[in-house]
Amino acid sequence: MIRTAGIPVSKGLVIGRVYLLEQDRSLRVGRQTIAPEDAPAQLERFELARRAAIADLDALHEESTGEMGEEAAKIFLFHIGALNDPTILNPIRTLIETEHVTPEFATSSTLKKLADRFAKHPDSTFQSKVDDLRDLASRLLSKLSGKSAATLAKVAENTVIVARDLTPTQTAGFNREHVTGFVTDLGGRTSHTAIVAGALSLPAVVGAKNITARARDGQTIIVDGSKGTIILDPDADTIQEYKERIKAAEQTRISLHELADLPAITTDGVEIELLGNIEFAEEIDTLLNEGGLGVGLYRTEFLYLTGQNAPTEEDHFNEYAQCIRMLEGKPLTIRTVDLGADKYTQHQEETPERNPFLGLRSIRYSLSNQRMFRTQLRAILRASAFGPVKIMFPLITNIAEFRSAKYFLHEEMEELAEEGIKYNPNIEVGMMVEVPAAALMASAFAREVDFFSVGTNDLVQYTLAVDRTNERVASLYTPIHPAVLRLVRDVARAGRKRDIPVSCCGQSAADPAFAALLIGLGVRTLSVTASSLPLVKRTIRALDTSRCERIVKRAIGFDSEAEASSYVLNRLKKIVPEVFDGRPVA
């Protein structure tokens, strides 16, 4: 029996048989030349292949939207965008025209160089796009050759795919009646492949390093997508143990859904507001069905990342208005765009930043692109006339940034008033606390803002200097670190002192253990993904705030995250054993 671990990206338990997917070598094309006079015809052949690939992706997007949801299906819109991107297409065409090589070689060499460059880039945003580039290369080459790309549709029942890496298209193409999970050597939590796995509810573990070298075809394998555990050749006792866990998990899932209509109230009567994080209006129905009371974080970057052109004011307004209609009076908190560290904006720069996550991103990017920023602010204000809307600025690090953002907001208010266009003049304006500087200065910010929302994804990353998408250091990424807890405590204290609401909308809020600590720190609003709402609500209804306060007070006093995590989990196991028994803390 071999037990190993990776990065958990899609929850669930599965016992199956290994299907070892060999690394695709077909993407490596030898250099082949063409006659100079054949270049125009070869360019046309490449163009026909490109259009055929886009047509396939359009169909795949339409099909997958209904099955996987828009969040996962939008990945194929990224691929369509790449096949229309001059920065990708022009080098291929230039090679065909000037070096007189075949479209196959031009496509393979160009995309391979770009993938290698992305893989070596220190920014995880670029690293997570490597599988997308491989996917595009495979699709284009299959169209150029006239052969259909290989799929994983024909595998035996109860199959667990084990591969060095997987592309989103491969993952979406799984025969879901037969493929029950997957494990890869490479990958991170936020890769597109991980997103698709979550949308399909396929238990998945990535970043398992050398799992392909240790596994063999037909081998029995256990995959725990919640903990990141992988077991090869489990013995009979281990198989029986996991069969019982699978049965218990299914019973828990059914019982958790029954809580949807019940309030999130602790045993001592403290009500916790449970909201949802969304990227698309279409997610709201699921959010409400799972018991969410509104939207605590509406990420708006997709308007830029999925279109060929920058969104207009009407594009923004229509999306926000649709959310408001679907929420039917429930609150909507809109975060202004968090751009700057992404492929979309970096490709537009003449000189891309070396480390964009520490560069001109989020509110800095918005303040440097005033026309874009004002367009979004104006649309949000217009939408605020139709329902309860809040506005939230991301990655604020100093008071000058917040004041500048509010200045532009007030200027747009004045213009709308002069034009006789309705808006809510009393719209609440808050900020995300995502960097240590903001947390340490929370008392000063509390005099300026209407609310705080702690964004743990970046707060943990910047506090601990750990990239959570990097499999080499993923184990170091934990919100239950005394330093992180102290920063959140400072924000909560500043909020109470000034009577400023404090929420947490980071991914860590969906972890029941961290949610319990947030309650102990005084946070009374949690915003999580729709799928996480039932488990978080179950946890809340089994806790009392005084006990949570004692647990977090002790956790903050430890010298290391390991001690803090161990203590927290042991305490919570005794309170809510059905939730915490055997769960990872973070």
The question of whether 548 is a catalytic residue gets the answer no
Give me 80's structure tokens: 């369509």
Please identify which of the residues 61, 79, 121, 192 carries the catalytic annotation: 192
Calpha distance 560→478 (Å, rounded): 11
The Cα 361–Cα 351 span in angstroms is 15
Question: What is the spatial distance between Cα 249 and Cα 393, in angstroms, rounded to a whole number?
Answer: 38
Sequence-distant (≥ 6) Cβ neighbours of residue 236 within 8 angstroms:
none
Sign of CA pseudo-dihedral 549, 499, 532, 307: negative
Contact 432, 455 (CB under 8 A): yes
Q: Could you tell me the two tokens for 404?
A: 């500048």
From its phi and psi, is residue 233 left (phi > 0), alpha (psi between -120 and 50) or beta?
A: left
- Strands (DSSP E) found in 185-244: 204-206, 220-224, 229-232
Nearest to 113 by CA among 84, 98, 133, 132: 133
Q: How many beta carbons lie within 10 A of that of residue 420, not counting itself?
A: 6
Nearest Cα neighbor of 409 from 382, 443, 444 is: 382
* Closest of 342, 330, 261 to residue 301, by C-alpha: 342
Write down the catalytic residue from 323, 504, 505, 548.
505
481 is an active site residue:
no
What H or E segment, with its residue span, contains residue 302? helix 302-305
Annotated catalytic residues are 192, 505
